[in-house]
């Protein structure tokens, strides 16, 4: 009886596995007033060295920007911050931080274009600085969440009080996080993703 032919040298006995698709790129914006922790948040979570466009705070700028609660701040974002974080093998977030001062507001449209959603960071010690960011996302009808940065581990007001003060609708998530901690920033960004995905599902035809 003839024996079965031996496998050809170098031949594969099974079909090679298909390479996994690259993660889906998603753009998110981190916004808020001057000195609330936007640059810190991007730096805390980015898996690459963040790209920042910061300039020194001059004596003239110090007279315009309120440094009462950030006396050690020596630089400020004048265009945007940029960072990247891979959430899992299927999803990669591209993070864009906006400048906080009103005089740089003309850049917001360019920074926000194409974003799936936004995270508005709030400092409860100076809520007035956060109205503009909340109004912007509401006006543009971009899904967003509000994250209260717990400076020194403390929040000056209860969440319900902050919601009332900012006139934020009940359907917009309000959370507390620490912009210095990677896991805390990640959790806040996942809240934004949930909001954006819920909006996308609601828009799907029945």
pLDDT per 10-residue tile (average), the chain, 206 residues: 55 66 93 89 93 54 45 50 93 89 67 93 86 92 95 80 92 95 96 92 79
Interatomic CA distance for residues 43 and 81, integer angstroms: 9
Give residue 60's pLDDT: 37
Interatomic CA distance for residues 55 and 26, integer angstroms: 28
- Confirm if 76 and 65 have CB atoms less than 8 A apart: yes
Give residue 35's pLDDT: 83
Phi, psi of 186 (to 5 degrees): -60, -45
pTM of the model: 0.77
Interatomic CA distance for residues 195 and 173, integer angstroms: 8
Question: How many secondary structure helices (H) and strands (E) does the chain include?
Answer: 6, 7
- Confirm if 192 and 143 have CB atoms less than 8 A apart: yes
């Amino acid at each position: 009886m003839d024996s079965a032919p031996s496998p050809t040298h170098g031949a594969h006995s099974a079909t090679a596995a298909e390479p996994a698709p690259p993660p889906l790129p998603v753009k998110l914006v981190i916004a808020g007033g001057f000195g609330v922790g936007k640059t810190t948040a991007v730096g805390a979570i980015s898996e690459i060295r963040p790209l920042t466009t910061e300039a020194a705070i001059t004596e003239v700028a110090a007279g315009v920007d309120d440094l009462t609660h950030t006396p050690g701040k020596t630089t400020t974002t004048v265009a945007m911050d940029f960072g990247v974080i891979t959430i899992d093998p299927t999803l990669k977030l591209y993070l864009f931080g906006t400048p906080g001062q009103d005089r740089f507001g003309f850049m917001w449209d360019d920074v926000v274009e194409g974003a799936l959603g936004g995270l508005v960071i709030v400092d409860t010690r100076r809520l007035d600085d956060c109205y503009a960011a909340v109004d912007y996302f509401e006006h543009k009808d971009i899904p967003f969440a509000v994250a209260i940065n717990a400076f020194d581990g403390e929040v000056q007001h209860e969440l319900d009080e902050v919601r009332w003060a900012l006139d934020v609708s009940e359907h917009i998530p309000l959370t507390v996080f620490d912009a210095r901690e990677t896991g805390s920033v990640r959790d806040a960004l996942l809240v934004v993703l949930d909001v954006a995905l819920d909006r996308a599902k609601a828009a799907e035809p029945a």
